[in-house]
Structure 1
């Protein structure tokens, strides 16, 4: 990869964008999970927050492997706004269904970031990690949609 500094830079930028999104997702699942009334959903959300943290650590390790010394990110401004909106809704007495719909919106945004990342030129092992993570996000979105429909 040393022969391709542009590819390395592109991969770094791509992974940083996904990492920022994973931070947003982790925080979103944690915060919404704390406000859910259904204990099963609450447990699922808190577990999903841990899964997103694990996804983030994997990508941070990948950055280290390609020579990036500082792989620390903080999340996105859009994610912070989305989390704040979810928190406001919870404090105003939103239902579990409302909170699930907020989570669905977050997952749809995350899927867009994965799509953009996978449209870039990536090394095969990195692409495979992102494809696997994207599949999990898609499954989670589908689970949330079904759960929200069940709370009508």
Structure 2
């Protein structure tokens, strides 16, 4: 009996961890799309729009893990903090902040994504879920560095 309860508790923890990451991915998916629309540099704009699609794919992968665990459809649309962050980015764009300012906003969002993955991977997760999150985290870190490097290049 205790084993069943333990398994149930572990499943609940895994679900909570994945829902937190999915919420962050929803925020970053929308953030990349919104900021990408305002960028003037076509290369960076294409990266942002592609990255928005990548985040949607990451969400789908994690939602599939939840479905496999028996959880019904996921209805995560992002967080209030993420919506405020995107609004701040839109305001910067409307005030003529330029690509550097938008990339600063994007990097702040990427910091949140890095933190969400770090927190998730500190949890006790089943190996397949841990491997999926680790693979996604590697991409998140690479994306963060891309945004940061381009932001720094525009500063100088």
TM-score normalized with structure 2 length: 0.94
Secondary structure of the corresponding residue to residue 78 of structure 2: coil
For 1:3-152, list aligned pairs within 5 A: 3=4, 4-152=7-155
Cα deviation code 1:24-52 (max 9, x no counterpart): 00000000000000111111100000000
The gaps in structure 1 that reach 5 residues or longer are none
TM-score, normalised relative to structure 1:
0.97
Structure with max Cα Rg: 2
Q: Deviations over 1:4-29 (max 9, x none)?
A: 00000000000000000000000000
Distance 2:152 2:120 in 1: 30
Return the offset for 1:57: 0.3
Of 68-77 and 16-25, more deviation after overlay is shown by 68-77
Q: 4+ residue stretches of structure 1 with deviation over 4 A? A: none
**Structure 2: 5+ residue stretches without partners:** none
Q: CA RMSD in A?
A: 1.0
